[in-house]
Structure 1
């Protein structure tokens, strides 16, 4: 859809909630992720869209369409720059990149999320960090990283079997390497999809500060608090996350989500084992435990704290012991110890 339609929907969602300030929205294909101008904020979302090749007219759907927003507010005037990441045809030689065709429904969802993020990042409003979900398309073919602009720039959230490709690309860029070990098929799709984000965030925080050593990170649901192998160190943090029951689909937020890290350094090779503690639905009988869905912001905070703790515990650096605070969610119900894996193992910090 044209810019005028995006602007119309944006202004409709912004009406009455952006403090009477003037906001303008523009398309800017030159903006890049993690490179906002000074004073600007960034927000990245995935959506679904359709593409059509301008050469052969072949059309295809995708649920891996990245949209990046850069936003700024100064003296009552706000600006939003938008970039929609393109794809090209896999069957044509030298096919040009084409813009996504995003439905009105998904543009509306993007604008709802954008306005909410503006309120949080530009007006410092205390809102929950949850996002509105976009409408997914029926996609019968796997995602094509070689034909995706988002993949080429390293921000596309690809499925678990593509994480290895991402790791290999990133290892060429950084002195600290990150490997995904001990793949466990029982991990949920939500957790597997988050793996690429944990990868890039960890590398970003570790780059240049872990003395050029090689560090590997793996997800290991079998590790337990206070049960360390010889030579390993432990670090436990609380974060916020959302859960969704796989039986009744009920969703709930929690500010009592425990994450445990076991870490070891030997002969310049470091390993980190990570376990996120699960919860289950209080309404269903024999409901299975489900993995937490942790926001990008809180993954970043976990990785900042982890890298700092590695520097203290594994390199004996004399740093302050303070932590970066995670972003809390709005939770209206009390914590449920009987449905919390962390409580059952005695490490959950309850009120």
Structure 2
């Protein structure tokens, strides 16, 4: 199954124009793309559907990883984004061909919107309080994510995103707890001060 490259490129171009991003920007799909030493690395996960070319089994995944490497040449006033969407293999077949997912138009729009806002924040210091849109889930998800049949897992991308999400979640959980602890300490300190004044005047 081939990826709808044109849809991704068109959506990117439209969003760049809609948000009035400076300079000229292009998006290119490279299905052999890997992490590089230069450029901003940006990853996302979205929802996609797969169909095995051998046994015709179909399955859905909410862990379809997309890698972007972003570069801007300010001298030439031109930015480029290289993109790779990672494949998955069928769990039923012993030696499956890894398949490219089908991603719905609205999920493509969400991924691209997140990407362009990332470009604005990192390259143009735009602070619009934008929060990344999460993908829409269509259809049932079967069991746990199979890391052995996931191309992105072999490149360490799935685990990287899970750790990132876990850290953010734990930080949000820690902040209220830390605030509560500081409040309790403040009360104890106040009581201790009152006690010292009382006994000093006895």
TM-score (norm 2): 0.77
1:343 and 2:179 correspond: yes
Residue in 2 that maps onto 1:231 = none
- The alpha carbon displacement at 1:105 in A equals 0.8
- Confirm or deny that 1:79 pairs with 2:111: no
TM-aligned CA deviation for residue 343 of structure 1: 2.4
Q: Which position in structure 2 is the counterpart of 1:36?
A: 36
For residues 237-261 of structure 1, the C-alpha deviation after alignment (integer angstroms, 9 at most, x for no partner) is: xxxx689xxxxxxxxxxxxx68xxx
Higher Rg of the two aligned structures? 2
2-structure distance, mates of 1:70, 1:18: 21
1:198, CA displacement in angstroms? 8.1
RMSD: 2.8
Q: 2: CA distance between counterparts of 1:198 and 1:12?
A: 29
What does residue 46 of structure 1 align with?
45
Provide the C-alpha distance between the structure 2 equivalents of 1:344 and 1:144, rounded to a whole number of angstroms: 40
Q: CA offset at residue 106 of structure 1? A: 0.5
Distance in 2 (CA, whole Å) between partners of 1:29 and 1:347 is 53
Deviation, 1:17, is 2.7
Structure 1 CA distance for aligned equivalents of residues 33 and 112 of structure 2: 18
**What is the rounded CA distance, in whole Å, between the counterparts of 1:242 and 1:141 in structure 2?**
23
1:115 lines up with 2:116 in the alignment = yes
CA apart distance, 1:157: 4.3
Q: Residues 16 and 50 of structure 1: is their aligned pair in 2 closer, same or farther, counting only changes over 3 Å?
A: closer
Cα separation, 1, equivalents of 2:52 and 2:61 = 13
Q: Which residue of 1 aligns with 2:193?
A: none
* Residue 347 of structure 1: how far off its partner (Å): 6.9
C-alpha separation between the residues in 1 aligned to 2:136 and 2:113? 14
**CA offset at residue 124 of structure 1?**
2.4
Provide the residue aligned with 1:188 in structure 2: none
Equivalent-residue separation in structure 1 for 2:27 and 2:165 (angstroms):
31
Where does structure 1 lack aligned partners over 5 or more consecutive residues? 159-192, 202-240, 244-256, 259-275, 279-339
Q: Which has the higher helix share?
A: 2
| Count of aligned residue pairs for this structure pair | 179
CA–CA separation in structure 1 for the residues paired with 2:156 and 2:115: 21
CA displacement, residues 37-65 of structure 1 (integer Å, 9 cap, x when unaligned): 42x11110010100111111111100111
Alpha-carbon distance change, 65 to 30 in structure 1, aligned in 2, over 3 angstroms? same
1:277 to 174, 182, 186: 174
Distance 1:18 1:73, change over 3 A: farther
> How far apart, in 2, do the equivalents of 1:123 and 1:36 lie?
22
